[in-house]
């Protein structure tokens, strides 16, 4: 059972432990779906897993996958086929996956950003070579820097984008020093080192380092929060709203002024000529200096139109001239603002729909606000047998019992199943609705640890059972080994009598 040939099933529920509502996601099993990996085959595997675990007749209120068409298709995808048997199972596109799609759009906004990421990727391949890696480590020691590695940007490992940019920023001087040494004629890597040195000493690269490191750092924090197993759907919606508000506030003029000041200070700290200081421009000397390119202008037929997309030209100012190294307004207009606008627009476009409406309704439930819970009541009242009028009355009573604004901790202490049955069910629902598939995808890491080359002939049933024991280690730790031995010994006599 290899990655891609196995379907993992996770079950999220709310338990009442010591009269406290607690949300928990539990790994169920691995199901082999190698025979049929289309939507019908995957749905059959999911139903088989639910039946094996005795959950076939439990109502399903939500389902969460990534954005692959076979999973998210609204005509014949997995989520639509699941709704045929579980009509209340709303589809939630994994929030962490959606944020990664937003980030991918941001990284493809213009050529400067694409070139910047290509340079970092090439840096990784160059310094991954053992001799160059040793040279890089020695350079860090000579500069009294903390030893680190250049991390390759990745489309699937979401934290790697910020970590790769941050490693280049913090060890820029060591990287430049190594590239300068490797640029000597006759060195094996002189051609690659000369090109990378030319790119890394340009103002566009340094500006991208400062701008993208600041943006990716905030996205990295949000990504980690969205992957948390304790994060609720309402918290996920609040995180994305806060992220959009932050990027909108970054469009202010003083923010860019501070950013440009950081760019110039970074140049001074790393002995790179600062544009605008004593009329010195940040250029690569000698034959490595970039050639002057022909200026391209939009067609005159478009003079009366508002052009909202690129026409194939490189970044230019309003007059059509190429941006100079010291053109702060040009970098703001053609690099900084397009990145922010892409992030804001993609966040608005992707984080909308039914799941976001339900997320805000969950937030209203936690605050006991009757006006905001309509989406949840309309969809799930019949399934969960919730009386809307009694629900409102229970919310009024709980809200009146709170000294400060209602908090989740107060609800856990106050709301009991016997006293507030309707609100209790609504809180169960709000805590159960998933935010994504990041938690279940961690099971693939466990799968690689359990089913390695020493256990390649392990059967599917044993493998799935071992995966449950390993993944749910907090529950496994509560088991008594002596009790397990006793149960095993009581099943039948295994000792042979030898004459």
Q: Which of 38-47, 444-453, 470-479 has the lowest mean pLDDT?
A: 444-453
> Would you say residue 302 lies in a domain?
no
Residue 340's SS3 state is helix
Q: What is the average per-residue pLDDT within 283-310? A: 56
Residues 330 and 403 in one domain: no
Residues 186 and 335 in one domain: yes
Residues 458 and 410 in one domain: no
Per-residue pLDDT, 171: 92
Contact 55, 26 (CB under 8 A): no
Q: What is the average per-residue pLDDT within 370-379? A: 91
> Would you say residue 128 lies in a domain?
yes
Per-residue pLDDT, 347: 92
pLDDT digit string, tens, across residues 252-276: 888 999 999 999 999 988 888 776 6
Per-residue pLDDT, 497: 58
Contact 233, 433 (CB under 8 A): yes
17 contact partners, CB below 8 Å, separation of at least 6: none
> Would you say residue 400 lies in a domain?
yes
| Dist CA 488 CA 462 (whole Å) | 16
| Dist CA 453 CA 234 (whole Å) | 42
Question: Is the pLDDT confidence value at 439 over 60?
Answer: yes
> Would you say residue 307 lies in a domain?
no
Nearest to 210 by CA among 257, 175, 249: 257
Residues 383 and 414 in one domain: yes
> Would you say residue 304 lies in a domain?
no
CB-count exposure of residue 200 (10 Å: 0-12, 13-18, 19+): buried
Confidence band, pLDDT 50/70/90 cuts, at residue 319: very low
Residue 11's SS3 state is strand
Residue 276's SS3 state is coil
> Would you say residue 225 lies in a domain?
yes
Question: Is the pLDDT confidence value at 321 over 50?
Answer: no
> Would you say residue 448 lies in a domain?
yes
> Would you say residue 308 lies in a domain?
no
Per-residue pLDDT, 189: 85
Residues 368 and 246 in one domain: no
Residues 432 and 459 in one domain: no
pLDDT digit string, tens, across residues 130-140: 989 999 999 99
Residues 191 and 288 in one domain: yes
Nearest to 53 by CA among 24, 31, 79, 23: 31
332 contact partners, CB below 8 Å, separation of at least 6: 256, 260
Nearest to 104 by CA among 156, 140, 38: 156
363 contact partners, CB below 8 Å, separation of at least 6: 234, 237, 238, 372
| Dist CA 75 CA 233 (whole Å) | 25
Q: Please state the domain count of the chain.
A: 3
Residues 397 and 477 in one domain: no
Other beta carbons within 10 Å of 347: 21
Summary mean pLDDT of the chain? 82
Percent pLDDT > 70 in the chain is 83
| Dist CA 469 CA 489 (whole Å) | 21
pLDDT digit string, tens, across residues 378-434: 999 999 999 999 999 999 999 898 878 888 888 888 888 889 999 999 998 998 888
Q: Domain range holding 418?
A: 6-93+353-438
pLDDT digit string, tens, across residues 339-353: 999 999 999 999 988
Percent pLDDT > 90 in the chain is 30
Residues 181 and 239 in one domain: yes
Question: Is the pLDDT confidence value at 208 over 90?
Answer: yes
Residues 275 and 382 in one domain: no
Question: Is the pLDDT confidence value at 80 over 50?
Answer: yes
Which residue has better confidence, 18 or 273?
273
Per-residue pLDDT, 318: 38
Residues 410 and 449 in one domain: no
Residues 406 and 465 in one domain: no
Instruction: State pTM to two decimals.
Output: 0.78
Contact 430, 232 (CB under 8 A): yes
Per-residue pLDDT, 8: 56
Contact 98, 236 (CB under 8 A): no
Per-residue pLDDT, 17: 41
């Amino acid at each position: 059972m290899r990655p891609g040939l196995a379907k993992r099933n996770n079950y999220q529920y709310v338990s009442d432990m010591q009269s406290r509502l607690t949300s928990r996601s539990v790994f169920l099993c691995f199901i082999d779906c190698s025979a049929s990996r289309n939507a019908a085959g995957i749905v059959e595997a999911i139903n088989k897993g639910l039946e094996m675990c005795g959950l076939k007749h439990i109502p399903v209120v939500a389902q969460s996958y990534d954005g692959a068409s076979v999973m998210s298709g609204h005509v014949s995808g997995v989520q639509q086929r699941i709704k045929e048997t579980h009509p209340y199972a709303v589809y939630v596109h994994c929030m962490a996956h959606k944020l990664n799609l937003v980030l991918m759009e941001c990284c493809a906004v213009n050529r400067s950003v694409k070139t910047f990421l290509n340079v970092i990727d090439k840096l990784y391949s160059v310094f991954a070579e053992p001799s160059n890696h040793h040279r890089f480590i020695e350079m860090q020691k000579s500069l009294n820097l903390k030893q680190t590695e250049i991390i390759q940007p990745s489309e699937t490992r979401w934290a790697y984008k910020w970590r790769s940019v941050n490693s280049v920023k913090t060890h820029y001087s060591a990287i430049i020093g190594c590239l300068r040494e490797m640029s000597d004629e006759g060195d094996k890597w002189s051609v690659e080192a000369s090109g990378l040195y030319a790119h890394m000493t340009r103002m566009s690269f340094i500006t991208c380092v400062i701008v993208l490191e600041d943006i990716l750092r905030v996205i990295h924090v949000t990504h980690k929060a969205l992957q948390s197993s304790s994060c609720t759907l309402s918290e996920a919606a609040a995180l994305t709203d806060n992220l959009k508000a932050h990027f909108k506030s970054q469009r202010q003029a003083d923010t860019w002024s501070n950013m440009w000041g950081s760019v110039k200070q970074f140049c001074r700290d790393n002995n790179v000529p600062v544009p605008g200081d004593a009329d010195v421009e940040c250029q690569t000397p000698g034959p490595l200096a970039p050639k002057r390119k022909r200026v391209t202008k939009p067609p005159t037929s478009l003079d009366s139109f508002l052009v909202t997309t690129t026409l194939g030209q490189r970044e230019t100012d309003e007059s059509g001239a190429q941006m100079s190294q010291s053109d702060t307004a040009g970098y703001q207009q053609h690099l900084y603002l397009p990145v922010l606008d892409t992030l804001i627009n993609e966040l608005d476009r992707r984080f909308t729909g039914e799941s976001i409406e339900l997320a805000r309704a969950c937030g209203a439930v936690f605050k006991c606000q009757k006006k905001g819970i309509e989406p949840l009541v309309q969809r799930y009242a019949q399934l969960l047998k919730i009386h809307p009028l009694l629900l409102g009355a229970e919310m009024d009573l709980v809200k009146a019992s709170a000294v400060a604004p209602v908090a989740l901790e107060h609800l856990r202490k106050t709301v009991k199943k016997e006293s507030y049955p309707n609100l209790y069910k609504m809180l169960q629902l709000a805590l159960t609705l998933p935010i994504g598939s990041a938690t279940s995808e961690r099971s693939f890491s466990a799968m690689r640890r359990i089913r390695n080359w020493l256990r390649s002939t392990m059967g599917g049933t044993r493998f799935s059972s071992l995966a449950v024991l390993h993944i749910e280690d907090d529950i496994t730790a509560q088991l008594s080994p002596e009790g397990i031995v006793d149960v095993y010994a009581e099943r039948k006599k295994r000792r042979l009598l030898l004459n």
